[in-house]
Amino acid sequence: MSTAMIYAEFAARECRDVSPAYESLSVAVSRDREMIARLDALPPAKRQPNLLFAAVRFLDGPVTDPRAFLDFTAERWPDVAAEMLARATQTNEVGRCALLLPVLAELPQPLALLEVGASAGLNLFPDRYAYQYGEVRLGHGEPLLDCALTGRRPPTRHPEVVWRAGLDLHPRDITDPADRRWLESLIWPEHDHRRERLRAAARIAAADPPLLVEGDLVDDLPALAERAPQDATLVVFHSSVLYQVPDARRKTFADLVRDLPGHWIAIENPTVFEYDNLPNPPDETLYNVLALDGRPLAWCRPHGQGMVWF
Ligand SMILES: C[S@@+](CC[C@H](N)C(=O)[O-])C[C@H]1O[C@@H](n2cnc3c(N)ncnc32)[C@H](O)[C@@H]1O
């Protein structure tokens, strides 16, 4: 897909009704030949809309007025490109815990959680967050994760987590001001609720830091999994990670994780794995697929704002 198409599609499928600012920036970029030429000079993995917009925000550039954004980006391109090359899309979206919870709550307890592509590890605390599924609230305090759930009953309990560990090529340290600033830059401009819940989750993680290991999801998974306690159910999970991993490597990862004891939860773009007989998604916007042990179960909105059980 051309870079212009990637931006046009991002506007239509991910930003419409979710972020008017990013929708208009994406459309403007898709129509600006010079901007597209600059992006095309970067490696393909570095051309993503989220990465460009976060880099500009990190540099305190304007992200609400498309003209001001294009001018800033043209003027400051060496700085913008340097940030894009040095950094990666590592959005740590705790809202995705609301997607994990219905599955985690039904597995044999207690759980040993191992997240691959964990970023700062904030999704390793699904047992400490509060949830709102329509009328039903589970837990109290902050962050409160709101998820429109259809097709099944909301979970009625938190999981019991006795071990938590994350693996990432570049683990982020939520207590480090620069890492924190990058994670906040990755949150879309209008999404104050996401910024607030990142901060609330950061307080929980900072008070009880999870084990975060720098490594690759294929090469370093077995050694980390071996450190999990034997008397808990090992759950390897990941969300919005495998789109960053080459196709052949995804297959190797899937074979590897299937051979581990315990369970495997994936929340990924439907193009990442070829599932048989997926029902049609609820509408034209982007949905990820939640799967347990390779069996697809639900369509999920990318930031955990809703899920439709099959
Ligand atoms: C978009 S972030 C998602 C973070 C987290 N899963 C969430 O949902 O909030 C993707 C993460 O996957 C990590 N990642 C990408 N390729 C990886 C690999 N081969 N091994 C380990 N981590 C990887 C990135 O560094 C990044 O932190």
pLDDT digits (tens, 9 = 90+) for 99-145: 999 999 999 999 999 999 999 999 999 999 999 999 999 999 999 99
| 48 Cβ inside 6 Å of ligand 1 | no
Q: What's residue 277's pLDDT? A: 86
pLDDT digits (tens, 9 = 90+) for 175-197: 999 999 999 999 999 999 999 99
Q: What's residue 68's pLDDT? A: 98
Pick the residue whose CA is nearest to atom 23 on ligand 1: 117
Atom index in ligand 1 nearest the CA of residue 170 equals 25
Judge if 157 and 65 occupy the same domain. no
Give how far Cα 59 sits from Cα of 28, 30, 78, 109, 190, Å. 20, 22, 12, 45, 18
Alpha-carbon distance of 140 to 137, in angstroms, equals 8
Q: Give me the domain span that covers residue 252.
A: 94-309
Cβ 181 vs Cβ 55: under 8 Å: no
For the chain, which ranges sit under pLDDT 50? none
| 117 Cβ inside 6 Å of ligand 1 | yes
Judge if 43 and 145 occupy the same domain. no
Q: What's residue 54's pLDDT? A: 97
For 183-213, give the DSSP string.
Answer: HHHTS-TT-HHHHHHHHHHHHHHHHSPPEEE
Alpha-carbon distance of 175 to 120, in angstroms, equals 9
Residue 253: CATH number of its domain: 3.40.50
Cβ 30 vs Cβ 10: under 8 Å: no
Last residue of a domain, one of 40, 66, 86: 86
Please report how the helices 49-58 and 66-75 are oriented relative to each other, as an axis angle in degrees rounded to 10. 80
Pick the residue whose CA is nearest to atom 7 on ligand 1: 92
Tell me, in angstroms, the distance from the centre of ligand 1 to residue 169's CA.
7
Tell me, in angstroms, the distance from the centre of ligand 1 to residue 238's CA.
8
Last residue of a domain, one of 54, 86, 118: 86
DSSP code of residue 278: P
| 169 Cβ inside 6 Å of ligand 1 | yes
Tell me, in angstroms, the distance from the centre of ligand 1 to residue 290's CA.
16
Judge if 53 and 149 occupy the same domain. no
Across the beta sheet with 211-214, the strand order is 148-150, 306-309, 295-300, 288-292, 263-268, 233-239, 111-116, 161-168, 211-214
Last residue of a domain, one of 86, 109, 124: 86
Tell me, in angstroms, the distance from the centre of ligand 1 to residue 36's CA.
26
Phi-psi region of 242 (alpha: psi -120 to 50; beta: other; left: phi over 0): alpha
Helix (H) or strand (E) holding 52: helix 49-58
Tell me, in angstroms, the distance from the centre of ligand 1 to residue 262's CA.
21
| 288 Cβ inside 6 Å of ligand 1 | no
Judge if 54 and 159 occupy the same domain. no
